[in-house]
Amino acid sequence: NEASISSSGEVHISNDPIPPNEELSIKFHNQSPHRVDLYWDDGEYGHQVATLEPGKLGSVNSYAGHSFFVTRHGVKEGLFADVDTPNEHRLIYTVSGKSRDEQFIIPANAAPSNDVCQDRFSICAQQAVQGACERSPGWMIVHCCKSCDPYLNSRELIDPAKRCSVDHLNTPPPVWKAGDLNSMFESWMNNATLDQYGLEVLSAPDCKKYNATWEKCTDGGPWVVIFNNFLNDNEVADLIRGGEIEGYERSTDQGAANALGEQEKIVSMTRTSSNAWCMHSCERLGGVRSATRKIEDVTGIPSNNYESFQLLNYGPNQFYRSHHDSSMRDDTPPGPRILTFFLYLSDVEEGGETHFNKLGLSVKPKKGRALVWPSVIDKDPTFWDSRMYHEAKDVIKGEKLAANHWIHLNDYVTPNKWGCTGSFS
Ligand SMILES: O=C(O)CCC(=O)C(=O)O
Ligand SMILES: [Fe+2]
């Protein structure tokens, strides 16, 4: 029932029922210690509608009969009430439609379940029946553990220590051993088939021997080479189109991992560009496939060791501050990124150079040009080359479009499929 106060000060109680199609403003009070994401349950994977800080009140517009669920912020781990008692239940809120100011409480004891093997979404059971557990085991084990258990033993494999073990993944040996990095670059030097790509050495361990064109090249330096005409117009166009199909989003960094091996995405302050990951329909574009095949031919490293193309878009004043593409040591199943194949998909009127901070070397964007450098050292390809810090200078005028193909020491595709790379996109 609705109460209203008229201008004369009388209180009227209305018995009119609320029409079922009336939009209602529903309040959620987050009394839990967690930062939570609020999802409208659309019967599939849910739509995130709000993020609520601990202690805060938020409101969403909704309709009678609609349901909502809450998860820990950034990961889709559902929250439950009374997790230490047998009464534990998933927090699901259904709009009653009986009041115009319905308020729901996310209680102080809301927490992820002690049993990590849960179905997070309404659609899990149906997806499992349709074969999704076998097709995308990593994602499904973590998000639809209950429904996948009969197919995949997901209750056990949800533990990343089991799911991501060497025994379970059973991937081929590393592509490089000591000395192979140098051998690859050296083999490029007298390979006539690479002439068509306009190979130019900027920095190398022996500047004279390899005709390095960078005037500050110093002997003993790392390899940095460019292929001035690596991509043709069709490959450039398909990579750009692929990025548009996937949709560019503001770049994020990866945060800490939870017990299931999921990492939260955090909006990056050191990287203001947008990016898109080339998956599914993007990966099927002819020009995208031929770009990958070219890189396989040139490097001799199979595309199973590559991350998906990451497409980059920088507008005026956007940048990516100094960073390394690898870490000092990387014990994850794919191993470190050993090589970056960086592709420029546009010219830039002013700014946007890739600058190697420690070397003092800048490379100008040019449509179709590839810039290639290793992130590890020749004598131990599991260890980073600390000289390879680099940044993307601010774009001053124009737009910069580019793409990364990061190449790992080990198979990347298999661990990624099993949810062993921190990414569950
Ligand atoms: O945009 C550039 O020039 C470099 C980008 C980069 O280093 C990266 O995406 O890791
Ligand atoms: Fe980088």
The reply to whether ligand 1 has any atom less than 6 angstroms from the CB of 388 is no
Helix/strand number for the chain, H first, E second: 12, 30
What's the confidence (pLDDT) of residue 424?
A: 67
Q: Are 171 and 411 in contact (CB under 8 A)?
A: yes
Tokens (6 digits) for 135: 């097709």
Closest CA to 383 of 331, 328, 340: 328
Pick from 312, 355, 367 the residue to mutate for probing ligand 1's pocket: most ligand atoms within 8 Å of its CB.
312
Q: Please count the other Cβ atoms lying within 10 Å of the Cβ belonging to residue 258.
A: 17
Q: Please count the other Cβ atoms lying within 10 Å of the Cβ belonging to residue 104.
A: 17
Interatomic CA distance for residues 292 and 282, integer angstroms? 12
What's the confidence (pLDDT) of residue 252?
A: 81
Residue-range domains of the chain with CATH: 2-112 (2.60.40.780), 180-417 (2.60.120.620)
Q: Please count the other Cβ atoms lying within 10 Å of the Cβ belonging to residue 173.
A: 8
The percent helix, strand, coil of the chain (3-state, each to 5) is 20, 30, 45
Closest CA to 69 of 44, 48, 38: 38
Provide the CB-side half-sphere exposure for 29 (13 A, CA).
Answer: 8
What's the confidence (pLDDT) of residue 254?
A: 76
- CA of 251, nearest ligand number: 1
At position 232, the amino acid (one-letter code) is N
Q: Where are the beta strands (DSSP E) in 206-335?
A: 224-227, 249-250, 252-257, 263-267, 274-277, 310-314, 320-323
Tell me what ipTM this predicted complex has: 0.99
* Residue ranges in the chain whose pLDDT is less than 50: 1-2
410 C-alpha to center of ligand 2: Å?
19
> What is the DSSP annotation of 145-208?
HHHHHHHH-HHHHTSHHHHTSHHHH-PPPPS--TTHHHHHHHHHHT-GGGGGGTEEEEE-SSTT
257 C-alpha to center of ligand 1: Å?
24
146 C-alpha to center of ligand 1: Å?
40
The reply to whether ligand 1 has any atom less than 6 angstroms from the CB of 271 is no
323 C-alpha to center of ligand 2: Å?
6
For ligand 1, atom 10: residue with the closest CA: 325
What's the confidence (pLDDT) of residue 10?
A: 60
Using CA atoms, how far residue 312 sits from 102, 273, 282, 399, in Å, is: 44, 7, 14, 10
What's the confidence (pLDDT) of residue 142?
A: 94
Q: Where are the beta strands (DSSP E) in 212-251?
A: 224-227, 249-250
Using CA atoms, how far residue 124 sits from 36, 82, 136, 214, 254, in Å, is: 21, 24, 12, 56, 26
Pick from 354, 367, 393 the residue to mutate for probing ligand 1's pocket: most ligand atoms within 8 Å of its CB.
354
What's the confidence (pLDDT) of residue 12?
A: 54
What's the confidence (pLDDT) of residue 15?
A: 63
The reply to whether ligand 1 has any atom less than 6 angstroms from the CB of 120 is no
Provide the CB-side half-sphere exposure for 207 (13 A, CA).
Answer: 11
